[in-house]
Amino acid sequence: MERRSFVKKATLGVFATLLGTDIVYGAKMLEGYKPLGLQEPDPFKLFKKNKEMVVLNDKPWNIEPKAHLLDDKVTPNAAMFIRNNGKIPYEIDAEKWTLTIDGESVKKQKTYSLQDLKTNFKHYTYQLTIECGGNGRSEFNPPAKGNQWTLGAVHCASWTGVRLKDILADVGIKDDAVYIGYHAADVHLSGDPSKEPISRGCPISKAIQEETLLAFKMNGEDIPVAHGYPLRLVAGGWPASVSGKWVNRISIRNKVHDGAKMTGTAYRVPCKPVSPGEKVKDEDMCIIESMPVKSLITYPKSGAIIKKGKSLDIRGHAWAGELEVSAVEYSIDFGATWQKCSLDKPANRLAWQHFSASIEFPKSGYYEVWAKAIDSNGNAQPMVVPGWNPKGYLNNACHRIAVKVS
């Protein structure tokens, strides 16, 4: 008689969590079977996202919010964009999770359990801005390949964890160390375990910044699985691809890391301006580091209607990569003139800043409210889409909302 293999208890627990209820006869489920209720998952229920969010891709999952969903000063999970390159590793046992530090430039390879990290190193909490390098890609012409993000691939949550610099100090790094590269538990779309969906990193100088964390909490709770549970790298101000999720290994390199999505044109822009549609050699592409200055009007929604004689209160957020935002201005005459907004200081370095203004309109009619942020080096957002690049990165054009005064 053929012996039947049943689904493992841990797997059954994951299925029950995703379904939101116990599977009554789950113990009788054959190994390898996936419940029908999970075969075509509702991403909003699966990831606990606001139903107004937009699914750009489901293989892998890539989901973004609309601007008004990002109105909170600290972004909640329900409004956080999801950017994946591979399959989410749902079946995670945090008690068995380990982080290994290795590479050519580590003095001694070492492996930590999650409990080691939580117990042996001081915890830090920072609000950190994370933006996808391709945020705004949909506005480029000629179109660039990739998920057609509009403007919602950014968030600023509160992250708690240990500083990567403290881990590196504990293992010791050699004098020739120049870069780190992360490795993670997500699975390549092909299912091939020998292929990594993404393995990026950053220079040592970024890795040892005070705010670069190995985080295990988001907004005071365990990180949701779609955002990197149980451990992720958080490097605010740089492209979100540097902040690797589900991290289980970090390599200390004596050269620029050459993992998946680190070579060719991935997360790179032309080192010098090019004409729209121009082909650029790989060697003429430079790695994206600090993100450009940018702002987002989160209230009201575009299409707002107000009565004549009433003022319109607007608010939103602004950020500038490694820099601080020095000013935010608004225009209601298509950029001909600009007025200053009130601007808060950041909660900490690399957190976005909140702005607000009260706007008076001269008469009835159609208007557009434009927002423009200026960083501490005097760089201002362009009013139109900036220099074209093959992958559609770094669009920091002014955000605009439509308003009718009746």
Domain 294-405: CATH class, spelled out: mainly beta
Residue ranges of domains in the chain: 1-40, 94-287, 294-405
- pLDDT for position 8: 83
| Arithmetic mean of pLDDT, 144-154 | 96
Task: Quote the mean pLDDT of the chain.
Answer: 95
Token pair listed for 406: 């009746």
Half-sphere exposure of 1 (CA within 13 A, CB side): 3
* Residue 220, pLDDT above cutoff 80: yes
| Arithmetic mean of pLDDT, 145-149 | 95
Domain 94-287: give its CATH superfamily: Oxidoreductase, molybdopterin-binding domain (3.90.420.10)
Percentage of the chain beyond pLDDT 70 is 98
pLDDT category at 12 given cuts 50, 70, 90 is: confident
Residue with tokens 């005459």: 333
* Residue 224, pLDDT above cutoff 90: yes
Amino acid at 206: K
Instruction: Tell me how far apart the alpha carbons of residues 207 and 202 are, in angstroms, rounded to a whole number.
Output: 7
pTM, to two decimals: 0.89
| Arithmetic mean of pLDDT, 282-288 | 96
- pLDDT for position 1: 44
| Arithmetic mean of pLDDT, 235-243 | 98
Q: What is the pLDDT of residues 76-111, one digit of tens each?
A: 999 999 999 999 999 999 999 999 999 999 999 999
Q: What is the pLDDT of residues 57-79, one digit of tens each?
A: 999 999 999 999 999 999 999 99
Please count the helices (runs of H) and the strands (runs of E) in the chain.
6, 24
How far is CA 304 from each of CA 339, 356, 399, 404, rounded to the nearest angstrom? 20, 16, 15, 6
| Arithmetic mean of pLDDT, 333-352 | 98
Of 398, 119, 179, 135, give the one whose Cα is nearest residue 291.
135
- pLDDT for position 337: 98
Instruction: Tell me how far apart the alpha carbons of residues 162 and 184 are, in angstroms, rounded to a whole number.
Output: 18
For residue 215, give the H/E element and its range.
strand 213-218
- pLDDT for position 3: 60
| Arithmetic mean of pLDDT, 233-237 | 98
Q: What is the pLDDT of residues 28-41, one digit of tens each?
A: 888 888 787 666 57
| Arithmetic mean of pLDDT, 326-334 | 98
| CB contact at 8 A, 124 and 162 | yes
* Residue 359, pLDDT above cutoff 70: yes
